[in-house]
A and B are shown apart, each in its own frame.
Chain A
Amino acid sequence: MYRGREGQWAFLLHRLSGLAILAYLLLHVFSIGSFMFGERFYMAIHHTYDLWPFRVGLVFVTAGVVYHAFNGLRIIVMDFTGAGVAYQRQMWYGVLLISAASFVYAAVSLYPRLVGGY
């Protein structure tokens, strides 16, 4: 069921998106938490985060969180119901579809910020 098939890719993407979200979370907690050092410090970090790789990264983070969330639900369904295992491939394609849709949605709604910054 697993090797080289959908299950393996689902597992790999779940891990990669999880580690990427964790990296984002660490940066996010640091940047938002830094407001306790005052506005100047907070804005210095946020000007760094306004560089284009971070702006493009927002789109990937949104899609990554949606993938991780819905694939996590798929895992829970597989773990706790017998029927979930039988439909894990179909569910995975559903998860991919939702993730792609949220990628496009985030890219469209963030477009002004992607090209213009704040």
Chain B
Amino acid sequence: MIRARTFTDARQQAHSNAELNWWVFMRISGLILVFLVLGHIYMTFIQVSEADATFDAVVGKLANPAWKFYDWLILSLALLHGANGARYSIEDYVRSRPGRAWVKGVFYSVVALLFAFGTIGLFSI
């Protein structure tokens, strides 16, 4: 994990190219997610009351391919961003090496299954 305040520091601290790429990915995906997720909250939570979020409303909205793509972009970026953030936490707080391997293995499996579940759900309409 990189503890740096600037890109130059991050490049010096990174043990591998992959670690530096994740550091950059967190900034870029975070910036994109700010707009995607705040827009999603606004449109589904404030503009429309939750009482309108019925089964038919969800199916009807997702019939539009633009919303499919929008939601899939949130799904994939947010899961990657969140999984990598959780990986930082796991590496910081799970001290034993076998413990870390188990926690990561179970956690990555859950995330991968849910990504498949969400993708199939989105494109099955």
Residues of A near any B CB (own CB < 8 A): 15, 18-19, 21-22, 25-26, 29-30, 32-36, 39, 42-43, 62, 65-66, 69, 72-73, 75-76, 78-80, 82, 85, 109-110, 113, 118
Contacts and interface: CB of A to CB of B under 8 A. Distances in A.
A36 B124 contact: yes
The 8 closest A-B pairs by CB, nearest first: A33-B121, A22-B82, A29-B118, A72-B30, A39-B55, A69-B34, A18-B85, A36-B121
B7 to A, nearest CB: 6
Contact of B41 (A25, A39, A62): A62
A69 B58 contact: no
B55 A33 contact: no
Given A19-B86, A33-B118, A79 B58 contact: no
A62 B49 CA distance: 14
B51 interface: yes
B101 interface: no
B92 to A, nearest CB: 9
Given A22-B86, A36-B120, 14 more contacts: A25-B78, A25-B79, A29-B117, A33-B120, A65-B37, A65-B38, A69-B38, A72-B34, A73-B34, A75-B27, A79-B5, A79-B7, A80-B6, A80-B27
